[in-house]
Amino acid sequence: MSEIGLVNRQFGHRARLALSPAEIRIIDDQAHAARTMWNCLHSWWQMMPKAKRGLAAADEAIRQARQDLDYLAELPAQAAQAVLKTYFQSWKNCWEGRADEPNFKARFRAAMSVDIPQGRDLNIVRVHRRWGMVNIPKVGRVRFRWTKDLPVGKRADKDNRITGARLVKDALGWHIIFRVRGLETAPEPHQGPQVGIDAGVNIPLALSNKDHQDHGRPPRRPDGKADRDKWLTQKEKTKLLTLERQAAHQKSFRKKGEKTSRRLQHTYDQIKQLRAKATRRAVDWQHRPTTYLARTYGTVVVEQLNITNMVTSARGTIEEPGKNVKAKAGLNRSIAQEAWGRTVTMLTYKTARYGGRLIKVPAPNTSRRCSACGFTTPGSREDQATFVCKNPDCGFQCNADWNAARNILHLYWTGHAIVEVPAAGRRGRRAGKTVKPVAAR
């Protein structure tokens, strides 16, 4: 916090670049050079004794490599320094238990990216309402899609400015991610109501007060099977099916050990573009309800889910084969499409921005416990969409996701709240502490 009532806020803004084929080729070469630089650093790290693994020695090594290898010189000097700092930071994260050990970056599996660490080199100018111009080292002035007001020109100062950027490539092309630092007024404590949220498949975000957030796309097809392409139109689904069959046909002619042909790789690229388009639509929808929830509610209570264990395959082994394998696989695809973890991440920073709180409660039995009588009776959750309490003295019946949302909020009221804090464990672990809840509103 720099001044009383003001807070420093750092965030990223992603924008699409409009590049010519020659510019795409230059940035592709830079990204491959950055990946090669990372792999060279990793090889150097493994070969050098522990006593000589220093930042200065590594810096001297990459300077010499850029002189000896011409294709490494295609990467700007500052971007090469950013690769060096990122590599050493990855080891620091590993030693402190926040991540696994860094490894080699494969050509086709690693994400292509180039860092621009100095914000002053960007020289961002807004051309008109839809487009802006940015300077990329060794590429020149290129256009990008202007969708958010950025602190550039007279609006930029030492507290509100762009500190750097990163070029990233996905199936839809190259994008630029600006690192923005701003000084904002600290939000007042949100006085909105409390709400419990259950992330489900039938209702994406079921709320305890029935203010459900639904994207209107059914999780299953008319034949009852899970719809893994629900974010695509029917025309796009037909095209995707045609491309997948085409790829399978082309792959049948490839002998073992042969490289992927350009024709097959082009088919794969078309499939990736459709998948990326579906993901972009899903993320766009997630931003809208999470912003609405953060603005409306002061306390948002969610489950602490272990999604990795939830989407584990039920196939089993040869000695002990699993049951309902196809049904479990369809459920796993539906869970993966809803991206519950990404929703919680959005709620985490958005509630903090609007002065609210995000609380996590234990997940066991929230979907099997009756929210009316409080008992967990076997057989109450026989249907995926409906909850029917089998307690003879209750008989409560409602939507299963709404019942779980009510249980989630009740756990917070009864003092089972968990606040996440950084832990010294492996990646994905968090240490928690119980907090006393405020009075229910």
Q: At what angle do helices 234-251 and 262-296 cross, to 10 degrees?
A: 140
Closest CA to 224 of 119, 314, 331, 126: 331
What is the C-alpha separation between 36 and 72, in angstroms, rounded?
Answer: 8
pTM more than 0.85: no
What is the C-alpha separation between 91 and 70, in angstroms, rounded?
Answer: 28
Sequence ranges of the domains in the chain: 6-185, 194-223+271-435
What DSSP letter does each residue of 39-77 carry, written as one string? Answer: HHHHHHHHHS-GGG--HHHHHHHHHHHHHH-GGGGGS-H
Q: Write the CA distances from 45 to 65, 88, 106, 129, integer angstroms.
A: 14, 10, 18, 48
What is the C-alpha separation between 115 and 81, in angstroms, rounded?
Answer: 9
Q: For the chain, how are helix, strand and coil distributed in percent, rounded to 5?
A: 40, 20, 40
Sheet holding 417-421: strands in order across? 205-207, 194-199, 299-304, 357-362, 417-421, 431-435
Closest CA to 305 of 412, 200, 164, 440: 200
CATH number of this structure's domain 194-223+271-435: 3.30.420
Per-residue pLDDT of the chain (441 residues; tens, 9 = 90+): 445 677 888 888 999 999 999 999 999 999 999 999 999 999 999 998 888 888 888 889 888 888 888 888 899 999 999 999 999 999 999 999 888 899 999 887 888 999 999 888 899 999 988 999 999 999 999 999 999 888 888 888 888 899 999 999 999 999 999 999 988 888 888 888 999 998 888 888 989 888 888 888 877 776 666 677 888 999 999 999 999 999 999 999 888 888 889 999 999 999 999 999 999 999 999 999 999 999 999 989 998 877 776 667 766 666 666 666 677 676 777 777 778 888 888 998 899 888 888 988 888 888 888 888 888 888 777 777 788 888 888 888 888 888 889 888 888 888 877 765 333 333 333 334 444 333 433
